[in-house]
Amino acid sequence: MHKTRIQDLVISLCVIALGVFMWVQTADFTDESKQFSRFVLLLFLLMGVILLVITLINAKKPAGKEVTLKEFKNPMLMFVIICVYVAMMITIGFFPATLIFMPVSMLFMGYRRPLPIICTTIGMNLFVWVLFVYSLKVRLPEGADFMSFLSFLY
């Protein structure tokens, strides 16, 4: 099988596995709820099977661009940074978390000029405060109790 077809094979198998798992769950549903859920799942499973058949028929032909593991490194690191940012948002509050997240992600992206980094970080926090806190009265995450000394920001 051509390398580019393996990824389509994996996608089709994932679709079928998810579809079957969800179909099994419908056994506990009410009759009316079951009707629409099974209709949707049938379509989902059908698409998975069609992709599987197409992939197997054209197994030796290339299909689009090959995706290498290397291409996932930086995006996944960025994803981890975003997850840490969300965790910080809950523990130390939105503004301190953003003050840390922005310069870190800029540095991660390879940007090294301090002045634009500082200006963008402060500018963004000010923009968010003016628009969301001051104008729209949105109560942003304040963090855990130990961060209560910053509650005036929210």
Partner 1 sequence: MFENMAGALSELFTWSSALGLLIGVVGGMIIGALPGLSATMGIALLIPVTYGMRPSAAILMLAAIYTAAVYGGSISAILIHTPGTPSSAATCLDGYPMAQKGESLHAIGISTTSSVIGGVISAIALLLIAPPLARLSLNFGSTEYFLIAVFGLTLIASLAGDNMVKGLIAGTFGLVVGLVGLAADGSARYTFGVTGLLGGISLIPAMIGLFSVSQVMIQADERGKEAVKKEVVKISGRFLPTGKEFVHLIPLILECSVVGVFIGILPGAGGDIASWVGLNIAKSQSKHPELFGTGIVEGVAAPESANNAVTGGALIPLLTLGIPGSSTAAVLMGGLTIHGLAPGFELFSKYADITYCVILGFLAANILMGLVGWAAGRYLTMVSKVPIPLLIPCIAVLSLLGSYAASRNITDVYVAVAFGLIGFFFRKYGIPTAPVVLALILGPMSDKYMYQGTRVAMKKDLSFWQYIPTRPLSIFFIILIVLALFAPLVSKAISKSYEKKHGHIDAAEDI
SS3 state of residue 19: helix
Distance CA 142, CA 152 (A): 10
Is residue 117 involved in binding partner 1 (CB under 8 A)? yes
Q: Cα–Cα distances in Å, from 10 out to 57, 59, 139? A: 15, 13, 43
Q: Lay out the site mask for partner 1 across 79-98 (x = CB under 8 A, - = otherwise).
A: x--xx-xx--xx---x---x
CB atoms within 10 A of CB 68: 9
What element of type H or E holds 21? helix 3-25
CB of residue 123 to partner 1, shortest distance in Å: 9
CB of residue 146 to partner 1, shortest distance in Å: 18
Residues in the interface with partner 1 (CB under 8 A) total 66
Identity of the residue, 89 or 92, whose beta carbon is nearer to partner 1 in the bound complex: 89
Burial class (CB in 10 A: 0-12, 13-18, 19+), 23: middle
SS3 state of residue 60: coil
Is residue 58 involved in binding partner 1 (CB under 8 A)? no
List of residues contacting partner 1 (CB under 8 A): 7-8, 11, 15, 18-19, 22, 25, 29-30, 32-33, 35-37, 39-41, 43-44, 47-48, 50-51, 54, 64-65, 67, 71-72, 74-79, 82-83, 85-86, 89-90, 94, 98, 101-102, 105-106, 108-111, 116-117, 120, 124, 128, 131-132, 135-141
